[in-house]
């Protein structure tokens, strides 16, 4: 992995894990009703609960100190009974284009998020699980195994805290951090509601600015299609044939390509979005011109986009990134078939924060940006 040469890193000591004990939930982990009950207990009117959510989701305050309409005495009580945030920052690595954040959850689990800055947008790349159960052999998260699902509020907090701590109003969200979002469907959907709904209920990020990337969990794609939110969908395909795909994604055995594509078509129709297929380019494994031809044959049947992701190095995975020439050769075959195709260039390499490099350690990862 790249050394964080031109970045600044702020590691802090990470205490050993603790069991998830009964503990007060943070504001985003409470329902509106639960928050109202809390205010009533302190003889405050119900609208205070709405105001507090407005401060958190709308104004993006970093702590209770910023909630200026509540008395100091009440703020001190609420800090204990309904903390503003639950994730503790364990470290940050700041690069020119990206910042990587490592968070410690209440049980000590470590998760990572990345904020990626380009001239026209700031994207928050969020994790949905601690580790991942899909076992993709080219992905550091997959190789590290699965620990647990994240709660909806733990996902939302990654966004809220990155936004408030950086002072950068994040415009886009991608579920491309650690984990398989559709393996944790209910909590991911809960987080999407909070991110998508307008303040004071949520952060007001437009559905079309939120992308879920999935390895292709068919029931999840179909369920998402029925949510009637125009979330962008990206499907990690990585191979045009079943044999290669299953070698790369062991969990793909359960969902054949044909079934995935049928579900994608249903999604496209119901959500009225054009789906993107992601394809990690691995030298000598899935980057042959013949495989590009097979991909064309597969995808020509319906409108879609393709995002080619040159492999980001993962120690001990045994894979190599293809040369620029073979990346271009692969892309040209798709271009000639009029399939809109981009090659994703990694940003934030210096903070070691790219797709597939998230490892739950104090210094490691690297995000990306797509170009035509
Ligand atoms: N679990 C989801 C989302 C997280 S990974 C999914 O797999 O779609 C986001 C993207 O990064 C996926 O397309 C994934 O295949 C890709 N990726 C994983 N490891 C990578 C690596 N080492 N190099 C490049 N891309 C990688
Ligand atoms: Fe999980 Fe996605 Fe990594 Fe595969 S690529 S192991 S699905 S995070």
Query: What lines the ligand 1 site, CB under 6 Å?
Result: 138-139, 176, 180, 213-215, 236, 278, 280, 309, 311-312, 314, 355-356
Per the listing, tokens 């700041």 go with: 94
Residue 297 confidence (pLDDT): 97
Question: Which of 52, 81, 110 is at the close of a domain?
Answer: 81
Q: How confident is the model at residue 6 (pLDDT cuts 50, 70, 90)?
A: very low
Distance CA 117, CA 103 (A): 20
Q: How confident is the model at residue 23 (pLDDT cuts 50, 70, 90)?
A: confident
Asked if residues 356 and 138 have their Cβ atoms less than 8 Å apart, the reply is: yes
- State the burial class of residue 161 (Cβ atoms within 10 Å of its Cβ: 0-12, 13-18, 19+): buried
If asked whether residues 280 and 310 sit together in one domain, one would say yes
Residue range(s) defining the domain that contains residue 245 = 87-371
> Ligand 1 pocket check: which of 139, 150, 348 to mutate, most ligand atoms within 8 Å of Cβ?
139
Q: Which residue has its alpha carbon closest to ligand 1 atom 21?
A: 356
b/e code 62-73 from CB counts within 10 Å (16+ = b): eebeebeebeee
Asked if residues 130 and 178 have their Cβ atoms less than 8 Å apart, the reply is: yes
| Cα 119 to ligand 1 centroid, rounded to whole Å | 24
Distance CA 2, CA 93 (A): 13
| Cα 213 to ligand 1 centroid, rounded to whole Å | 8
Of 213-217, 319-323, 333-337, 356-360, minimum mean pLDDT range:
356-360
294 found inside a domain: yes
Give the closest ligand to the alpha carbon of residue 125.
1
If asked whether residues 95 and 76 sit together in one domain, one would say no
170 found inside a domain: yes
Question: Which of 81, 96, 114 is at the close of a domain?
Answer: 81
Residue 96 confidence (pLDDT): 87
What is the number of other CB atoms lying within 10 angstroms of the CB of residue 17?
13
| Cα 169 to ligand 2 centroid, rounded to whole Å | 28
Of 15-19, 319-323, 358-362, minimum mean pLDDT range:
15-19
Q: Could you read off the pLDDT of 75-131 as tens digits, one per residue?
A: 999 999 999 999 999 999 999 899 999 999 999 999 999 999 999 999 999 999 999
If asked whether residues 71 and 215 sit together in one domain, one would say no
pTM of structure: 0.91
Instruction: Look up the CATH number of the domain holding residue 307.
Output: 3.20.20.70
Highest mean pLDDT among 7-21, 187-201, 357-371: 187-201
Residue 354 confidence (pLDDT): 64
53 found inside a domain: yes
Q: Which residue has its alpha carbon closest to ligand 1 atom 24?
A: 311
| Cα 181 to ligand 2 centroid, rounded to whole Å | 10
Q: Does any ligand 2 atom lie closer than 6 A to the CB of residue 314?
A: no
For CA atoms 345, 348, 350, 354, the dihedral sign is negative
| Cα 143 to ligand 2 centroid, rounded to whole Å | 9
Mean pLDDT of all residues belonging to the chain: 89
Instruction: Please state the atom number of ligand 2 nearest to the C-alpha of residue 213.
Output: 2
If asked whether residues 53 and 111 sit together in one domain, one would say no
Q: Measuring CA to CA, how many Å separate 14 from each of 17, 22, 87, 146, 187?
A: 9, 21, 12, 20, 26
Asked if residues 126 and 177 have their Cβ atoms less than 8 Å apart, the reply is: yes
Q: Does any ligand 2 atom lie closer than 6 A to the CB of residue 180?
A: yes
Provide the domain count of the chain: 2
Q: Does any ligand 2 atom lie closer than 6 A to the CB of residue 252?
A: no
If asked whether residues 74 and 218 sit together in one domain, one would say no
Is residue 179 pLDDT above 60, yes or no? yes
If asked whether residues 200 and 63 sit together in one domain, one would say no
Residues noted as catalytic: 112, 355
Q: How confident is the model at residue 366 (pLDDT cuts 50, 70, 90)?
A: very low
Contacts for 325 with CB less than 8 Å, ≥ 6 apart: none
Q: How confident is the model at residue 30 (pLDDT cuts 50, 70, 90)?
A: very high
* φ/ψ (deg, to 5) at 186: -60, -45
| Cα 304 to ligand 1 centroid, rounded to whole Å | 19
> Ligand 1 pocket check: which of 176, 179, 251 to mutate, most ligand atoms within 8 Å of Cβ?
176
Is residue 9 pLDDT above 60, yes or no? no
| Cα 309 to ligand 1 centroid, rounded to whole Å | 8
Residue 71 confidence (pLDDT): 93
Residue 36 confidence (pLDDT): 95
Is residue 340 pLDDT above 70, yes or no? yes
26 found inside a domain: no
If asked whether residues 77 and 96 sit together in one domain, one would say no
Asked if residues 19 and 144 have their Cβ atoms less than 8 Å apart, the reply is: no
264 found inside a domain: yes
Asked if residues 368 and 355 have their Cβ atoms less than 8 Å apart, the reply is: yes
Q: Could you read off the pLDDT of 221-280 as tens digits, one per residue?
A: 999 999 989 999 999 999 999 999 999 999 999 999 999 999 999 999 999 999 999 999
Is residue 293 pLDDT above 80, yes or no? yes
Distance CA 194, CA 159 (A): 11
Q: Does any ligand 2 atom lie closer than 6 A to the CB of residue 188?
A: no
Residue 351 confidence (pLDDT): 56
Tell which wins on pLDDT, 58 or 1: 58
Q: Which residue has its alpha carbon closest to ligand 2 atom 4?
A: 136
Q: How confident is the model at residue 48 (pLDDT cuts 50, 70, 90)?
A: very high
Residue 301 confidence (pLDDT): 87
If asked whether residues 194 and 314 sit together in one domain, one would say yes
If asked whether residues 99 and 43 sit together in one domain, one would say no
12 found inside a domain: no
Instruction: Look up the CATH number of the domain holding residue 55.
Output: 1.10.150.530
Q: Does any ligand 2 atom lie closer than 6 A to the CB of residue 140?
A: no
> Ligand 1 pocket check: which of 356, 357, 359, 368 to mutate, most ligand atoms within 8 Å of Cβ?
356
Residue 359 confidence (pLDDT): 61
If asked whether residues 91 and 60 sit together in one domain, one would say no
Question: Which of 17, 51, 81 is at the close of a domain?
Answer: 81
Q: How confident is the model at residue 357 (pLDDT cuts 50, 70, 90)?
A: low
What percent of the chain is modeled with pLDDT above 70?
Answer: 87
Instruction: Please state the atom number of ligand 1 nearest to the C-alpha of residue 138.
Output: 22
If asked whether residues 104 and 51 sit together in one domain, one would say no
Is residue 347 pLDDT above 50, yes or no? yes
Q: How confident is the model at residue 46 (pLDDT cuts 50, 70, 90)?
A: very high
If asked whether residues 36 and 140 sit together in one domain, one would say no
């Amino acid at each position: 992995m790249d050394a964080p040469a031109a970045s600044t890193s702020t590691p802090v000591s990470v205490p050993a894990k603790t069991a998830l004990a009964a503990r007060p939930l943070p504001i985003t982990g409470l329902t509106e009703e639960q928050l109202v009950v809390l205010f009533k207990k302190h003889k405050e009117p119900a609208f205070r609960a709405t105001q507090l959510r407005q401060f958190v989701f709308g104004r993006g305050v970093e702590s209770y100190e910023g909630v200026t309409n509540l008395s100091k005495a009440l703020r001190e009580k609420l800090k204990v009974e309904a903390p503003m945030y639950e994730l503790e920052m364990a470290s940050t690595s700041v690069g020119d284009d990206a910042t990587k954040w490592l968070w410690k959850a209440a049980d000590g689990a470590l998760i990572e998020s990345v904020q990626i800055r380009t001239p026209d947008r700031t994207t928050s790349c969020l994790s949905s699980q601690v580790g991942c159960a899909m076992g993709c052999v080219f992905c550091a998260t997959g190789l590290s195994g699965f620990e647990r699902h994240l709660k909806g509020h733990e996902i939302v907090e990654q966004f809220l805290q990155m936004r408030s701590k950086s002072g950068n109003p994040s415009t886009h969200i991608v579920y491309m951090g650690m984990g398989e979002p559709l393996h944790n469907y209910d909590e991911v959907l809960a987080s999407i509601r909070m991110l998508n709904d307008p303040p004071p209920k949520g952060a007001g990020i437009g559905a079309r600015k939120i992308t879920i990337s999935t390895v292709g969990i068919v029931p999840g794609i179909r369920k998402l299609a029925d949510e009637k939110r125009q979330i962008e969908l990206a499907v990690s395909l990585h191979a045009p044939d079943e044999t290669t795909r299953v070698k790369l994604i062991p969990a793909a055995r359960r969902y054949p390509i044909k079934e995935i594509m049928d579900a994608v078509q249903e999604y496209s129709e119901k959500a009225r979005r054009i789906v993107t297929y992601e394809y990690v380019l691995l030298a000598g494994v899935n980057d042959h011109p013949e495989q590009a031809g097979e991909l064309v044959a597969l995808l020509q049947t319906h409108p879609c986009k393709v995002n080619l992701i040159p492999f980001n190095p993962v120690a001990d995975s045994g894979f190599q990134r293809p040369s620029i020439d073979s990346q271009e050769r692969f892309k040209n075959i798709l271009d000639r078939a009029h399939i809109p195709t981009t090659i994703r260039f990694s940003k934030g390499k210096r903070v070691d924060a790219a797709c597939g490099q998230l490892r739950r350690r104090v210094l490691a990862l690297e995000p990306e940006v797509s170009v035509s």
